[in-house]
Structure 1
C-alpha cells in the first residue's frame, strides 16, 4: 500500500448536505446510531477528497444520499445494474460518472449520487473480520462516497491510491487500517480482512 495522500492545498466545498435514509429498520437493532455514523463517514470522505475531485475547485454546495437497506434490496440493484444476482456490501451510483448530465441550476447544490448498504452482508463481514459493525459501516460509507467523487479501484495504481485514502480517513477518526490482516488471528480461523467493497458500474 502506498503512503498517505499528500494534502492538495485546494479548498474543500463549503457545504455538504447528507441525507441518510433508513429503509431497513433492523439497522437500529444492530447499530443504534447507524444514521449518525453514516453521515459522519460521508462528511469525512468528502472533506478529505473533494478538493482532488473537481477542477478547478469543488462546488459551493453538494449533496448525497446514504441508504441503509438490506441484502434483498441491494441484490435487486446489483442484478439490475451490474448483472450480478447476489447481494454485496455497498453500491455507489455516482452522478459524476454521467458526463452528459447537465450542471445544477445556479445556486443549487451538486448531487453526487447514492450510497446504498446491505445490512446482512455488512454484519456478516464485520463478524468474520472480528471488527465492530459500526466501524465497518463507517468504512463502507467512506468507500462509497469516494466512488461518488470519482475514485476507483479497477487498476492496481487506482486501488492503492483509494485504499491509502480510505486508511488515512479512518485513522483520522481513530479507526484501524481496514485492509490490514488481523495480526492475532484466532487459532481456528484464518487471517482475514473484510472483503473489499464493490460499486455499481
Structure 2
C-alpha cells in the first residue's frame, strides 16, 4: 500500500511514525488479503491541539483523542457483527482514506496503561486502518468483531492483546 505519512509534529519523526505506519498497515493488508500495491492511505502525526480541532470539526467533540479515521467511502456492513465488503482493487475506491494520530494522547495512554509506546501506536494504527475498511465499534457485535481482528493482527506482529 502506498502510505503517505505527514508528520505535523516533529516528535513523530523521532518516534518512527513512518515505519510504524508501514508495518501496521501492511499487517492489516496481509490479514485481510488486500493487495498492498493497489490502495493508498494517509497517516498524519499531529499533536493534541490539532486532533482536538479535527475532532471538533468532524465529530462535534472538541477534545483531543488518540486516533481519528476518515474512510474514502462508506464500507460499513449492513448488519451489526457482519464483516464489511472489502474494497475492490479494480474499482474506484483506491484511496482508502486518512488517519490522524495525536502524540501527547498516545504518550499519556501508553504510560497510564503500562504499555510500550510503539506497541500502543501500532495498535491505534491498526484500529484506524480497520475503520477505513468499514469496521466500527458502535454496536457490541461490531466491537467484538473489530477487537478480535485487532488482536489477531497484532498477534501476528508479536504484540500482546491490547484489551487483555
TM-score bracket, normalised by the shorter chain, equals 0.7 to 0.9
Number of equivalenced pairs: 153
Are residue 113 (structure 1) and residue 97 (structure 2) matched? yes
Report Cα offsets for 1:107-128 as digits up to 9, x if no partner.
9870000010000001100000
Q: Which runs of 5+ in 2 are unaligned?
A: 77-89
Hey, what does 2:13 align to over in structure 1? 28
Q: How far apart in 2 are the matches of 1:69 and 1:46?
A: 24
Higher helix proportion: 2
Deviation at residue 21 of structure 1 after TM alignment: 1.2
Hey, what does 1:66 align to over in structure 2? 43
Decide whether the 8 Å contact of 1:63 with 1:109 is kept in 2. Answer: no
Are residue 170 (structure 1) and residue 147 (structure 2) matched? no
Change (3 A) 1:76 1:119: same
Change (3 A) 1:151 1:109: closer
Are residue 17 (structure 1) and residue 2 (structure 2) matched? yes
Of residues 38, 42, 61, the one that matches 1:84 is 61
Decide whether the 8 Å contact of 2:75 with 2:134 is kept in 1. Answer: no
Deviation at residue 28 of structure 1 after TM alignment: 3.2
Q: Mapping of 1:162-201 within 5 angstroms?
A: 162-180=146-164
Decide whether the 8 Å contact of 1:91 with 1:117 is kept in 2. Answer: yes
Hey, what does 2:27 align to over in structure 1? 44
Q: How far apart in 2 are the matches of 1:45 and 1:59?
A: 10
Comparing 82-91 with 38-47, greater Cα deviation is found at 38-47
Change (3 A) 1:117 1:96: same
Report Cα offsets for 1:99-153 as digits up to 9, x if no partner.
9xxxxxx898700000100000011000001111100010000000000001111
